[in-house]
Amino acid sequence: MSAAANGRLIVCPTPIGNLEDITLRALEALRSADVIACEDTRTTKVLLDRYEITTPRVRYDEHAEKRATPGLIKRISGGETVALVSDAGTPLVSDPGFVLLQAALAAGLTVEVLPGPSSVLTALVASGLPAERWRFVGFLPRKRGELLELLENDETLVAFESPRRAGATLALLAELDAERPVALCRELTKRFEEVVRGSAAELAERYGAAPPKGEVVLVIGAAEAGSSDRASAEQAVRELVAAGAKPRPAATVIAGMTGLSANELYRAVAASGD
């Protein structure tokens, strides 16, 4: 058996807040690894110190991925075990690690992925919204048109959101469908954990003037039939403008086709800067 056959990459989830949520398998992986590739070595040190783990650490954040990957692949090929961790949760889920995973697979190296804490699943279940069909989209897009298209989704939607932008996102959602169910989950598993459930309008009012604090996961109920008509109309106006039409005539044309207000369509497109 070659040395490479003994080396492996272990994708190791870590707690999203409460350090007691670490699994026994993850602790064993961190102890037995030859090196731990960390998104932030200081953050991981807090966890390792808690469980008296002294395995060496190397930096592996989004800025170091391409630079550090060849060296880590060489170590795995030489028979070593590399444990990959992010600051919280499962690596690769809106966190660094994809470059290393792809390189390991391309090299035919052993990759082991451990189950563990996930803010996505925790928020989905805590929201109380249907979980039979759902979609995780990472961080919500900043462009209004892309966000509107995404919010037309007919499945439960789970997304990360910046606390500073949460109020605006909820206001847009309330504008499309005031009664659409939403849950805002913040600081999951931490001391100030909070899950606020309600309609889009209720949450937009609550967080409009006072943005939530801490890490936020939004869970948005599926769009009901007909609730995305306005979003589709706005997108149609944008496409006409992009093709060379002036905004107001474009809004008038689409309003005539949909029965929506031309002035409201014009204002929405003008406000978005498209």
Judge whether residue 2 has pLDDT over 60.
no
Above pLDDT 90, what percent of the chain? 69
Q: Are 68 and 60 in contact (CB under 8 A)?
A: yes
Interval 202-209 mean pLDDT? 94
Judge whether residue 4 has pLDDT over 60.
no
Rounded CA separation 209/193 (Å): 20
Q: Are 146 and 172 in contact (CB under 8 A)?
A: no
Name the β-bridge partners of 11.
Answer: 84, 113
Residues 147-165 have pLDDT tens digits of 888 888 889 999 999 999 9
Residues 85-141 have pLDDT tens digits of 999 999 998 899 999 999 999 999 999 999 999 999 999 999 999 999 999 999 998
Report the pLDDT value the prediction gives residue 227, as an integer from 0 to 100. 53
Q: In a 3-state reduction of DSSP, which class is residue 99? A: helix
Interval 48-67 mean pLDDT? 95
Residue whose C-alpha is closest to residue 216's, from 122, 128, 78, 116 = 122
